[in-house]
Amino acid sequence: MSTLRFNALKETLNRQPIEVNEPKRRSDIFGKNVFNKYAMRQHLTKQAYKSVIDAMENGTKISREVADHISTGMKEWSIQNGATHYTHWFQPLTGGTAEKHDAFFELEMDGEVIEKFGGGQLVQQEPDASSFPNGGIRNTFEARGYTAWDPTSPAFIMGTTLCIPTVFIAYTGEALDYKTPLLRSLQVVDQAATDVCKYFDKNVSKVVATLGWEQEYFLIDAALADSRPDLQMAGRTLLGHSSAKGQQLDDHYFGSIPSRVLNYMRDMETECMLLGIPVKTRHNEVAPNQFELAPIFEEANLAVDHNSLLMDVMRKVASRHNFKVLFHEKPFAGVNGSGKHNNWSLATNTGVNLLSPGSTPMKNLQFLTFFVNTIKAVHDNEELVRATIASASNDHRLGANEAPPAIISVFIGSQLTKVLDELEKVTDGKLSPEEKTDLKLNVVGKIPEVILDNTDRNRTSPFAFTGNKFELRAVGSTANCANPMTVLNAIVAKQLIEFKEEVDALIKDKKLKKDEAIFNVLREYIKQSKKIRFEGDGYGEAWEKEAKKRGLSNNKTTPTALKAKVSKKTIKLYEDLNIMSKVETESRYEIEVEEYAMRIQIEGRILGDIARNHVIPTAVKYQNRLIENVVGLKEIYGKDFKKYAKEQMILIEDISEHIEKINKGITEMTDARKKANKAKNAEETAAQYCDNVKPYFDVIRYSCDKLELLVDDELWPLTKYRELLFTR
Ligand code: ADP
Ligand code: MG
């Protein structure tokens, strides 16, 4: 009998929902563990408070002296709330979060003990940067990087540690994390959008990007998940036959949440409340044991931090409930994968959502301006948008007939399509008074109504307008949102800068009125960006053909998709906007390409090990039983034995055939890996892993899965899909 699997199954049989302590009112505890404005007001001097708020809202520098005051207040607050340690919390390019805890505790020269945390420790620290990916920016032996406080994201207490959100930068100035370019992109889009807003409202002085992510995930019993080496090490199953029942009946989506899971969610959401993560929605997803969680949207930098923090919290709380969270985009073949929709918009300091239609024609013209510019930005940079969501794990989802395809397109709904069609007909140059009135009354003026009864939603679009925001749906569930957010902010910022230049030129040179100029430029943008708009079924084959005709890219694998990250166009975009230097852009590409190859390499090794060490020996064991049986039958029935042993003999042969395919596949895959490792550079290695190594996964898996169906269930060592996905 296969001990690990059956022990694990036994363990799950008696699981009970874990009791949770949930407050009656969430508002009572919201942000209790966050050094937010409320806590700051209580623990900081007036001057220090003003200084932090100024830094948060206007990006001003905090002097060293004030930093000393702030750190003292922060320390007092955090000790009162149970913290004993502090850490700079940052997001290195590994995709996770990093922290190194130091105690507040210090020994003075005279042996006296005090709790200490100075301004210096708040503002800057030096983690050993050599152990984080840096894409060749610094040689490991001279690795010097530092973390610097980001006052725009408040400090928080996790467990007994005060966590201070920081950026992570090399001493030579290059960013080594996700946050730095994100912050730079937010600054740029703020500037560009504010300038454009001034056409419509002089009072706008700041624009922030907003992000509301939706996190999908699987919850698997911890004992069962731990019984599978592939889940443990690669976060996904590399083999396993589909269970007889999957998601065919559509009986999981929005169904009632199982009580063990519900208690997990309540517990985890309580932690989120304490940390100020405004989680709001929870429900079952399409696949069995798949769920989704969404917060109320926030300023993008904070929302990105909150998503990283959430993933951490989810893992930690899961272990209390004997669950393992799988964030992988495709943990199980044949069932739905997981994504992380990124809902994005722009909001002004005057409280206006720029992607939400307003109550007057002028406000709607502002809406249209941002709406059309966003579409144009995506049109002009579709390959970069595709690149930003590329990863080894997301490759399993994109284009797999269940998730947005690898082709980027924009869905806006039939009503707004009509509006854009109308705008396309606007006269070139000056508009007659009649035309202006018509536009006001019948086109621009009608938009709010249009959107209100705009019920058409397209779930197959990778980038959809959903009434008051755009939703980038192709982001993978493991991704750090900073990447796609940086790209969106950057391309929209660039677009808005160009827009303003063009409108200003028409006003100045052609003597057009402001609204005439805007209509003129929008008309051209609508025409120029038409090919990115697609309202049909994004999963269909017809779209692939159509997209090709339109000249849209269809980069199906990560190594091909990533190339857009280092195209001349991208490097220039980031350089022009001061978001990343060429060195930074190239080093990030290097890191991602290397990571891709490593992931496939690791998966290849795991698959090889499982197939050779678990599957083949099991198959042989079972085959021996069959052989024994045949030999026995022969003993009893002599030359007539075939009458009774025929089927067993077919099974014996089938098993041999599969064993051969598996073993041969592994040998060939290993050779392909060796060759890929010797390729001339990281890019070539990644390409070879993609084209020459990965295809063996399917070959090997196919035979393993067939054996799973042939071999006695009692002997099978790997926990099966039906057990992983349906055990509650
Ligand atoms: P769904 O897309 O599943 O129908 P909703 O439309 O309610 O759900 O919103 C999904 C997500 O979009 C939520 O996380 C929500 O906070 C976010 N969202 C709503 N408005 C905005 C906005 N202006 N900017 C960014 N995100 C937003
Ligand atoms: Mg959504």
Q: How confident is the model at residue 141, as a pLDDT? A: 39
Q: Hey, CA dihedral for 626, 628, 631, 637, is it positive or negative?
A: negative
Residue 471 Cα to ligand 1 middle (Å): 8
> Given pLDDT bands bounded at 50, 70 and 90, which one contains residue 108?
confident
460 within ligand 1 shell (Cβ under 6 A): no
Residue 471 Cα to ligand 2 middle (Å): 7
Which atom of ligand 1 is nearest to 297's Cα? 16
C-alpha dist (Å) from residue 653 to 611, 648, 699: 18, 9, 18
**Ligand nearest 283 Cα, by number?**
1
Three-state SS annotation for 108-161: CCCCCEEECCCHHHHHEECCCHHHCCCCCCCCHHHCCEEEEECCCCCCEEECCE
Residues with CB under 5 A from ligand 2 (ion): 341
- 0.85 surpassed by complex ipTM: yes
Residue 339 Cα to ligand 1 middle (Å): 15
210 within ligand 1 shell (Cβ under 6 A): yes
Quick one: average pLDDT of 253-277? Answer: 91
Instruction: Please write the tens of the pLDDT for every residue from 592-609.
Output: 999 999 999 999 999 999
Q: Hey, CA dihedral for 63, 66, 70, 76, is it positive or negative?
A: positive
Q: What are phi and psi of 674, to 5 degrees?
A: -60, -40
183 within ligand 1 shell (Cβ under 6 A): no
283 within ligand 1 shell (Cβ under 6 A): no
DSSP state of 281: E
Which atom of ligand 1 is nearest to 466's Cα? 6
**Ligand nearest 470 Cα, by number?**
1
Write the residue with the smallest CA distance to atom 4 of ligand 1: 466
Instruction: Please write the tens of the pLDDT for every residue from 220-257.
Output: 999 999 999 999 999 999 999 998 876 766 666 667 78
Instruction: Please write the tens of the pLDDT for every residue from 670-692.
Output: 999 999 999 999 999 999 999 99
Which atom of ligand 1 is nearest to 467's Cα? 6
294 within ligand 1 shell (Cβ under 6 A): yes
Q: Which two tokens stand for residue 271?
A: 């932690």
Expressed in angstroms, the distance from the first to the final Cα of the chain is 23
Residue 423 Cα to ligand 2 middle (Å): 28
297 within ligand 1 shell (Cβ under 6 A): yes
Site to substitute for ligand 1 among 304, 340, 469, most atoms within 8 A of C-beta: 469
Exposure string (b/e) for 264-291, b if CB count within 10 Å is 16 or more? bbbbbbbbbbbbbbbbeebebbbbbbbb
Residue 466 Cα to ligand 2 middle (Å): 8
DSSP H or E run through 684: helix 682-688
Q: What are phi and psi of 552, to 5 degrees?
A: -85, 150
Q: How confident is the model at residue 465, as a pLDDT? A: 94
- Taken in order of first residue, the domains within the chain and their CATH numbers are 31-177 (3.10.20.70), 187-201+208-580 (3.30.590.10), 595-726 (1.20.120.1560)
pTM of the model: 0.95
In whole angstroms, give the CA distance from residue 621 to residue 608: 19
Q: How confident is the model at residue 661, as a pLDDT? A: 98
**Ligand nearest 354 Cα, by number?**
1
Which atom of ligand 1 is nearest to 343's Cα? 26
- For the beta carbon of residue 424, count every other beta carbon within 10 angstroms: 14
Q: How confident is the model at residue 402, as a pLDDT? A: 67
